[in-house]
Structure 1
Amino acid sequence: MNEIQTTFGQIMKKDQHMPWSKSVKFLPCLLLLLALSWACEAYAWQPRNREESLISHREPGPVVGSPRTYILGLDEDLNNLAWRAGVGYRALVRANPDIDPWLPPTGAQVVLPQAAVVPFSAQPGITINLAELRLYLIWREGAETLVRFYPIGIGREGRETPLGKFSVANRAKNPSWTPPPSVRTERPYLPGTVVPGPDNPLGDYWIGLNDHRIGLHGTNQPYGVGREVSSGCIRLYPEHIGDLFYRVETGTPVAIIYQPIKLGQRDEKLYLEVHPDQRGMIADPMAEVLRQKALLGGGSRLDLDRVRQALADKSGLPVAVSAQ
C-alpha cells in the first residue's frame, strides 16, 4: 500500500536550484494549500478515494484505503487528532505504540490507521466488527460494489454490544432520547425525555435496529468514539453518522461480528490485520490465520515469521505477510 506523507518539513525544504530568499515567498501559499488539503479531509470516513472504495464481491478480504502519516504540531495530542483524522482513539494509539497519546513530542510522525481488511463475512449493508471498533458499509452502484468504513464506540464491560444479525427498523433526524431503566438506575437525575440539542447523547441522527435494545447514533461526546464506553449502542462521529444516515433505509441488513484477526489481499499480496482479542474468543491465533488463508486460496504464500510478528504487535494495521 502506498503511504501518503504530509509534513511541514517537506514543504519547507529549500529547492536546490532556487535561492531561499525567493523560495520563501511561496511558503505562505504552500502552507495554505496544506491547511486546505487537511481541512477537506478532516473528520472524513475512509476510503476517501472512490477507486480505493471499489471492491470485487468475488474476492474475499480486500484491503481498502491507504495509511497516512501526520506530523504533530504544537500542543496536539492523539485524543484530539483521532476525531480530526476520522479514526478511532484506540486504533490511533495502537498504531503508534511508541508515542505518548497525551503528551506526544511536537514534530512526532503519527501513523493514521486509514486502511483496513474488509471482513470475510461482510455483505451489502452494514457490518460492525466489535473487535476493531469499526463499521463497514457496503453498497452497489450499478455493476460496481463499494465500501467505506467508520470508527465506532461500543458497549462497555457489563453492557456489551450484542453479536448477531439485525436490520434497520427505523430512522430519525434530531431524535429525542428516553433513558432506559438501566441508564436511569445509574443516573436518576436524568429527565424523562432528553429533547434534541447539545445535551442529547444521541446527537443529530438515530438508526434503530429491530433489536430494540440497541441502535446506531451520533454523539455529543465525540471522544468516546473508538472506545468501549456506551451502554450497548453503537456511536459514530457526528460527521460520519450524518453520511451513514442517508445511505441506509428500513430493512438494510446489519451484522454485528467479532473478528480480531483478518487476513486479506491486495495486488496479489497478503496482508494481516490483528487487533487485541478482548473477549478471548481466539484460542489459537496462528491456526486462525491458516484457516483464513485456506479460504482466500490463491498462489501467495505466507511468511510465518511476519505472521508471528503481526500477531504479537496487534497494531490494527494491515501488515504485509506474503513470502518473498
Structure 2
Amino acid sequence: MLGMALALPAMAQASSQPQSAAARVESAPDRAPRVPTFKPDGDLAGELQVFSTVYEDTFAGIGNEQALGFLELVKANPGVDPWLPGEGTLITLPRHYVLPDVAREGIVINLAEYRLYYFSPEGVQVYPVGVGTEENPSPLTKAQVTMPLESPAWYPPASIRAEYEASGEYLPKMIPPGPGNPLGTHALLLSEKGYLIHGTNKQFGVGMAVSHGCFRMYNEDISRFVYQVGKGTPVQVIREPVKIGISGGEVWLEVHRPHEEYSARDRERLWQQVSEKVDQFRQQHPEVQVRRKSIEIAVDQANGLPIMVGEKLTRMAADESASSPGAEPEGQPEQTLYF
C-alpha cells in the first residue's frame, strides 16, 4: 500500500450509518447525479474517500450504490475479498483522478480505466462504464450525442443474433422495453453508427470489458445522466492507461493495468508506455523533475490511484530553502533520484 500512502490526499468518510448497499440505493433521488461534481485543480480532480462496510456488502453492491466500477474497487483495495469484505472493513473509494490528456469538454470515455468523464462549466463528473471486449472492442472515435432515449427498445444487429443462433439460443429481432432489455431504462444515441451509452439489465458488467462495443452505465446513473447531456455534446473515446499531469507544482502519475490479474507481460508493456509518457511530459515541461522510485511504485501497483512522482524545480528549491534557512543552494538534486 506504499503507493496509496504517497498519493493519498485528505480522505473523507463516505458513510456513517451502517446500512446494506441495497437499502442505500433505494433512497437515491430520481434526477440528481449520484456522483460528485469536482472542480479540476490543474490536471487533477477529486479526492480519495473511505467507506465502512456492513456484513451484507460486496464490491458489486457497493459499486452499484456508489457509482463505481467493480474492477476499480478491486484494484484500489488489494487484499480485501470483494465478495465478503466483512463487517466494518474500511475500503478505498477511488475518486481521485489525473484527468485525460485530451480536450476536456463534453464526454470523454477512457477504455483503459473503464470510466466516463463528463466535463461541464460546473466541473467534472466521473462514472464507471462497461466497454467492449477484445473480440468486440469499443471504437476509438470522436462523435456526438444525437438523441436521448427513454425506455429504449433493442434491435439486435445480425452479428449478435448469429452468435445466439450458433449457441443454440433464439434472439428476436426486437427486444421491448422492460427488465429483459439489455439497454436498460435509458440511453444516449451517438453519431458513431450502431453505438450507444446505455443502461443495462446486467449491472455486474459496469466497469468491466463485457459489451459488444457499446458503453454500459448503471441504470441509476444513465436515468439521471440523459437529462444533463444535450444533443450535440461531443464524445471522445480514447485508450489511455497512463496519465500524467501537474497540480499545484506537483507531478502526478496514474497507471491502470488491463486486467484484475497483473502478468509480467502486462507489467513490461506498461513500463514501456510509462517511460514514453514521462519522457514526452518532461520535454513539454522542462521545469519539472520526477523520481524514478515513485514511478516504479506506480507501475508495480498499477492500481489506478494517482501517485505524486515529482514536482517543479522552483517548488523544490523553495522547500529546501524553507527547511534550511540561510543555506546556500546546492544545485541539482542527486540524479539517482530521477527518471
Does 2:78 correspond to 1:97? yes
SS state at 1:158 partner: coil
CA-to-partner distance for each residue in 1:152-177, whole Å, 9 max, x for gaps?
Answer: 00011200101121112222111111
Q: Aligned pair in 2 of structure 1 residues 158, 269: CA closer, same or farther (>3 Å)?
A: same
Does 2:233 correspond to 1:233? no
Assess if the C-alpha contact under 8 Å between 1:44 and 1:86 holds in 2: no
Q: 1:305 aligns with which of 269, 288, 293?
A: 293
SS state at 1:321 partner: strand
Assess if the C-alpha contact under 8 Å between 1:282 and 1:288 holds in 2: no
Q: CA deviation at 1:283?
A: 3.7
- Give the match for residue 286 of structure 1: 275
CA-to-partner distance for each residue in 1:238-267, whole Å, 9 max, x for gaps?
Answer: 122123212222222111001001112333
For 2:77 and 2:52, the matched residues in 1 are separated by 13
Q: Aligned pair in 2 of structure 1 residues 80, 196: CA closer, same or farther (>3 Å)?
A: same
SS state at 1:110 partner: strand
Q: Unpaired runs of 5+ in structure 2?
A: 1-8, 260-265, 317-339
Assess if the C-alpha contact under 8 Å between 1:86 and 1:150 holds in 2: yes
Backbone CA RMSD of aligned residues: 2.8
What amino acid is aligned across from residue 172 of structure 2 in structure 1? P
Q: CA deviation at 1:39?
A: 5.9
Q: Aligned pair in 2 of structure 1 residues 248, 40: CA closer, same or farther (>3 Å)?
A: closer
Does 2:309 correspond to 1:321? yes
- Give the match for residue 260 of structure 1: 241
Percent pairwise identity: 33
For 2:300 and 2:226, the matched residues in 1 are separated by 37
Q: Aligned pair in 2 of structure 1 residues 69, 190: CA closer, same or farther (>3 Å)?
A: same
Assess if the C-alpha contact under 8 Å between 2:189 and 2:196 holds in 1: yes
Does 2:155 correspond to 1:178? yes
Q: Aligned pair in 2 of structure 1 residues 31, 184: CA closer, same or farther (>3 Å)?
A: closer
Assess if the C-alpha contact under 8 Å between 1:6 and 1:69 holds in 2: yes
Q: CA deviation at 1:219?
A: 1.0
Q: CA deviation at 1:321?
A: 1.9
Aligned length: 287
Q: CA deviation at 1:281?
A: 8.2
For 2:14 and 2:145, the matched residues in 1 are separated by 39
- Give the match for residue 133 of structure 2: 156
Q: Aligned pair in 2 of structure 1 residues 6, 180: CA closer, same or farther (>3 Å)?
A: closer
Q: Unpaired runs of 5+ in structure 1?
A: 9-29
Q: CA deviation at 1:75?
A: 2.9
SS state at 1:270 partner: strand
For 2:287 and 2:115, the matched residues in 1 are separated by 30
Q: 1:147 aligns with which of 110, 114, 124?
A: 124
What amino acid is aligned across from residue 215 of structure 2 in structure 1? I
Assess if the C-alpha contact under 8 Å between 2:242 and 2:273 holds in 1: no
CA-to-partner distance for each residue in 1:257-303, whole Å, 9 max, x for gaps?
Answer: 010011123333222111015796874422312323444x3855322
For 2:113 and 2:18, the matched residues in 1 are separated by 35
Assess if the C-alpha contact under 8 Å between 1:45 and 1:149 holds in 2: no
SS state at 1:196 partner: coil
Assess if the C-alpha contact under 8 Å between 2:242 and 2:277 holds in 1: yes
Q: CA deviation at 1:224?
A: 0.9
- Give the match for residue 263 of structure 2: none
List aligned pairs for 1:72-151, cutoff 5 A: 72-140=53-121, 146-151=123-128
For 1:281 and 1:306, the matched residues in 2 are separated by 15
For 2:47 and 2:304, the matched residues in 1 are separated by 13
Deviates more, 1:307-316 or 1:248-257: 248-257
